[in-house]
Amino acid sequence: PGFKASPPAVTFKLTGETDGIFQIQPDGLLYHNKALDRETRAVHKLQVSTLDAYGATVEGPVPITIEVKDINDNRPTFLQPNYEGSVRQNSRPGKPFMYVNATDLDDPTTPNGQLIYEIIIQLPKINDVMYFQINNKTGAISLTLEGSRELDPIKNPSYRLVVSVKDMGGQNDHSFSDSTSVNIMVKENIWKAPEPVEIVENSTDPHPIKITQVQWNEPGAQYSLVEKEKPSTLPFSIDQEGGIYVTQPLDREEKDSYVFYAVAKDEIGKPLALPLQIRVKVKDINDNPPTCPSAVTVFEVQENEDIGSNIGTFIGHDMDEENTANSVLVYKIVDQIPKLPKEGLFLVQTYSGVVQLAGQSLKKQDTPQYNLTIEVSDKDQFIDINDQIPIFEQSDYGNLTLAEDTAVGSTILTIRATDTDEPFTGSSKILYRIIQGDSEGRLGIDTDPHTNAGYVIIKKPLDFETVAVHNIVFQAENPEPLVSGVNYNTSSSAKFKLIVTDVNEAPQFSQRIYQAKVREDVAVGTKVGNVTAKDPENLDISYSLRDNTRGWLKIDPVTGEIFTTAPLDREAESLYRVQVMATEVGGSSQSSIASFHLTLLDVNDNPPRLAKEYTGLFLCHPLHQEGTLIFEVTDDDQRSFPSPHFSYSLVSESSRNDWEVSRVNGTHAKLSTKHTNFEEGLYSVQSASVMVAGHRWKGIVSLPVTFCTCVEGHCFQPAGHQPGMPTVGMAVGILLTTFLVIGIILAVVFIRIKRMKAKILFESAQASEAQPLRN
C-alpha cells in the first residue's frame, strides 16, 4: 500500500515489528523485501509516522496490522520416532489402549494444520485382515472386531504398525506427511469363561458355596452377575475378587440348568469387556419317589384268554433325570384279591409294567373282578400312599432364655416328630415350619434327612427392643399331600417359648461405607457429607473421626455432619478415606466404626510448567536468520486425552525486544528470535504459560538458550575452569617458573664446567715450565 503526506511533512518513518522485512519509501510506498513466514510471526504490528524536513513528527504514529496468511509449508512431525504399547487379547473393540501424536507448525484453524492419522502397514497381517484401527483425528489406537476375536499371544506375541499422519485433512495431493513405528505386545487375556460347573441338587452343605472363579486382567474391577434373558433372582452371587457362589440348595426337577453372565466394570460403571457366560448344570440325585397317574388303573380281560396274554400296561413316573438309574422303575405285584381260584393268576414284567395272565384262563362266574396291588419302585424308593401324619414326640418344648446377641447360625433347640409311612419317602419325610410367634423370620428349622430331627437355628439377630418374648408354634408336615380323608391335627404341632434378654449393644450405622464427591477448591467449612447411626438402647450418640491423617475434615459430634477444615488438594490425595466412630453417651460407651470416602473432583489449580528439563538448548552463532526452538508445557491437573490448551507470552520487556513466543498446539510452543544481533553466551528467556481451559492459571517457565560456535551442527564451547584444574594464567606462570629454574641449573652447570677446564689448563702449563729442556 501507499501513504500520502500533507505539508509540512516530506517523508515517512516506519516502526514496530518490521523484523528487517518491511520498509517504507520516502514517497509512502510500504513494501517487504523478502518472503514472510507465518510460523515466525503471524501478525506484524507496525506504525507509520510522517516527518518534516527537520525529522520532527508531523502526524502519527498510525497503527498498521499485517496478518500473514498461512500456506502449507510445514510438514507434520510425530513427537516420537517409535511408540511402544500393549493390549490384552479379547479387549473390547474400539476402546483405545494407546495414542500417537503429531504436531504441525501450520495454522491449526486451516486445512494446512489439520492432521489425519492412518495405519498403512500391519505386520503380520493374517489373511489380509486388519486387527488394529486408529481414530484418524485423535491418534487413538484400538482393536477391530476381528482383532478382539483373533489376537492370540501364543500365535503372535507382537505386532508392528506403521502409522502415517498427513496435513490438509488428508484430502490434498500436495499434503505433507510423516510416519512412525508402533510396536504392540499382545498380553494373555485372563478374562475367560470358566468351564461349565456341575452342582449336586439339594445339597445340605452350608451355603454359600464357591463354585467357580472369574478375574479381570487388572485389579480394581467391579463384578456383577446378570441373567441371560430376564431380570430375576439368581441363586448365585459374585464377590469383588471374582469368586462365584451358589447361595442356596438347587432342585433339578425345578430347573436343571442355569445360564448367566459375569460382568466386569470400571470405577464409573462402564463395561471393561464383553460379559463371560457361566453355565451351571444341576446334577440329579434320587430324591423323588415314583408316582402313578391315577390311584386305580382298570384293565379288561376276556374269559378263556390264553395264558401269557397281555392284559395291559401299568405306567409309573419318576421326576428324576431320565435315562439314569435314578428313574429306572421296577414293578412287582404284592397282593391279589381274591386269591381264587388260586394265588398268582397274574404277573407283571419287572421293567416294562406289562401285566400278563399267568396261572390259568379266567371265568367270570368264578370271580368277575380282581384287585391287584402293584408296587412301583426305583433303586431307592417305591410308591407309598401318605395316609399317616407326623406326630411330635412332645407337644411343649418349654422355655428357653437367650441373650439378644446370640450368634446368627446358632442351633438353640432340637425338635422331633415321627411318621409311620414308608421310611425315606415323600410320605414320611418331615418338614417343620413356624406358624406363629416369629413374624419377622428370625428363626429357621433344618430337617435331618436321615432322622427327621428338626434343628431350630437363629437366622436373623434377636432383638430385645423389638420382641422380648416369642411364643412359638411349630407345625410338622410331609412334602407329599395326605390322602383324601386324612388331615393334620394338633398332634402335628408343638409350642415353645423363647425369652430374649437385653444386651448393651454398640450403635449401628445405617451403612458400612459412606461416599461423597466434592470439588477440591471448595471453601473451608463446606459440608461434604453426613453419617447416621442409631443406638439399639436409644442412648445418645457422639461422633468422631479417626485416621484423619491430613486434617482435612471434622465432624459434628451430635449431628454427624462432616465439614472441611482445610484446603483440599486432589493432586496430594484424590480419594480421602477416614473412619467415623459412633460412641454411646453413657452406658458402657460402646462404639462402632464406618468408613467415609471423599472423592475430590479436579479443578484447574496447578500452574503450567515445563514438561521436562531443558538444559541443552542452543543456537549457532552468528545467526544468519531467525532461530527457533520448540518446548513443551504441561501441568499437574487431572485430564483426559487430548491435552489442555496453553497460551504464551514473554515476561520481561528486554525479552520481548529480542524474542517472541507462539503457540504450536495444545502443549507445545515455539520460541523465536526477533533479530540476528546476539552475542555468544547464555540467555535466560522467561515465558509466561497460561492454561486457558477452565479458569486461567499462569506459570513462569525459564528457558536457558546458549549462542555458541557450531561444529557440524553441534555446539562447540571451550572448556571452562574446573575445580582442581589450573587456569591459563596459572599454567603460564608454572611454565615460566619451570623454564627459569632449568635455566639457573644449566647456568650453574656451565660455569662449573668452565672453571674445571681452566684449572686443568693451568696445571698443564705449570708442568711444562718445570720440565728441563732437551737437546
Read off the pLDDT of residues 601-610 as tens digits, 9 standing for 90 and up: 888 767 778 8
Q: DSSP characters for 205-236?
A: S-S-EEEEE---SSTT-EEEEEESSS----SE
* Buried b or exposed e, range 555-567, using 16+ CB within 10 angstroms: beeeebebbbeee
Task: Compare 754 and 333 and report the one with higher pLDDT.
Answer: 333
* Range of weakest confidence among 135-144, 215-224, 743-752: 743-752
Instruction: Evaluate whether residue 361 is within a structural domain.
Output: no
Residues 410/458, Cβ–Cβ less than 8 Å? yes
Asked if residue 573 and residue 532 are part of one domain, the reply reads yes
Asked if residue 245 and residue 180 are part of one domain, the reply reads no
Instruction: Evaluate whether residue 321 is within a structural domain.
Output: no
Select from 220, 253, 283 the last residue of a domain: 283
Residues 687/599, Cβ–Cβ less than 8 Å? no
pLDDT score, position 156: 93
The CATH number given to whatever domain includes residue 618 is 2.60.40.60
Residues 86/187, Cβ–Cβ less than 8 Å? yes
* Buried b or exposed e, range 507-536, using 16+ CB within 10 angstroms: bebeeeebeeebebbbeeeeebbebbbebb
Whole-angstrom distance, CA of residue 739 vs CA of residue 519: 78
Instruction: Evaluate whether residue 544 is within a structural domain.
Output: yes
Q: What is the pLDDT of residues 36-91, one digit of tens each?
A: 888 888 899 999 999 998 889 989 899 999 998 888 888 899 989 899 999 988 88
Whole-angstrom distance, CA of residue 256 vs CA of residue 281: 6
Give yes or no for residue 638 having a pLDDT over 70: no
Whole-angstrom distance, CA of residue 487 vs CA of residue 475: 13
Task: Compare 266 and 2 and report the one with higher pLDDT.
Answer: 266
Asked if residue 183 and residue 111 are part of one domain, the reply reads yes
Backbone dihedral angles phi then psi of residue 128, each to the nearest 5 degrees: 60, 30
Give yes or no for residue 617 having a pLDDT over 80: yes
Asked if residue 457 and residue 557 are part of one domain, the reply reads no
Residue at grid coordinates 413316573: 317
Give yes or no for residue 30 having a pLDDT over 70: yes
* C-beta atoms surrounding 491 within 10 Å: 13
Q: For the chain, give the percent of residues with pLDDT over 70.
A: 89
Sign of the Cα torsion 162, 167, 169, 170 reads negative
Asked if residue 267 and residue 209 are part of one domain, the reply reads yes
Tell the burial category of 11 from Cβ atoms under 10 Å away from its Cβ (0-12, 13-18, 19+): middle
The dihedral over CA atoms of 210, 215, 219, 220, expressed in degrees to the nearest 10, equals -70
Cell of 264: 466386569
Cell of 80: 516420537
Helix segments in 77-158, DSSP class H: 145-150
Cell of 472: 412359638
Q: What is the pLDDT of residues 323-357, one digit of tens each?
A: 888 888 999 998 989 988 888 889 999 888 999 98
The DSSP secondary-structure symbol of 255 reads -
Largest CA distance in the chain: 206
Asked if residue 115 and residue 99 are part of one domain, the reply reads yes
Amino acid sitting at position 54 = Y
Backbone dihedral angles phi then psi of residue 359, each to the nearest 5 degrees: -85, -50
Q: What is the pLDDT of residues 83-142, one digit of tens each?
A: 999 998 888 889 899 999 999 888 888 888 899 999 999 999 999 999 999 999 999 999
Asked if residue 204 and residue 272 are part of one domain, the reply reads yes
Asked if residue 522 and residue 446 are part of one domain, the reply reads no
Asked if residue 204 and residue 176 are part of one domain, the reply reads no
The number of angstroms, rounded, from the C-alpha of 750 to the middle of its chain's C-alpha atoms is 92
Instruction: Evaluate whether residue 584 is within a structural domain.
Output: yes
pLDDT score, position 695: 43
pLDDT score, position 717: 59
The domain in which residue 155 lies consists of 77-187
The residue-averaged pLDDT of 626-645 equals 69
Asked if residue 83 and residue 183 are part of one domain, the reply reads yes
Select from 677, 701, 716 the last residue of a domain: 716
Give the predicted TM-score (pTM) of the model: 0.39
The residue-averaged pLDDT of 674-681 equals 86
In 423-463, beta strands by DSSP E: 431-436, 443-447, 453-458
Instruction: Evaluate whether residue 112 is within a structural domain.
Output: yes
Q: How many domains does the chain have?
A: 6
Sign of the Cα torsion 77, 79, 83, 88 reads negative
Task: Compare 447 and 703 and report the one with higher pLDDT.
Answer: 447
Cell of 177: 506427511
* Rounded alpha-carbon distances, angstroms, from residue 736 to 177, 731, 732: 63, 9, 6
Cell of 14: 516506519
The residue-averaged pLDDT of 638-660 equals 71
Asked if residue 596 and residue 540 are part of one domain, the reply reads yes
Whole-angstrom distance, CA of residue 20 vs CA of residue 32: 9
Asked if residue 497 and residue 421 are part of one domain, the reply reads yes
589: left (phi over 0), alpha (psi -120 to 50) or beta: left
Give yes or no for residue 759 having a pLDDT over 60: no
Q: DSSP characters for 583-599?
A: EESSTT--EEEEEEEEE
Give yes or no for residue 314 having a pLDDT over 50: yes
Residue at grid coordinates 410331609: 478
Instruction: Evaluate whether residue 453 is within a structural domain.
Output: yes
Whole-angstrom distance, CA of residue 609 vs CA of residue 699: 6
| Selection from 267, 180, 217, 179 nearest residue 87 by Cα | 217
Instruction: Evaluate whether residue 30 is within a structural domain.
Output: yes
The contacts of residue 56 (CB under 8 Å, 6+ apart) are none
Q: What is the pLDDT of residues 506-559, one digit of tens each?
A: 899 999 999 999 998 899 999 999 999 998 878 899 999 999 999 999 999 999
Select from 453, 468, 501 the last residue of a domain: 501
Instruction: Evaluate whether residue 725 is within a structural domain.
Output: no
Q: What is the pLDDT of residues 250-262, one digit of tens each?
A: 998 889 999 999 9
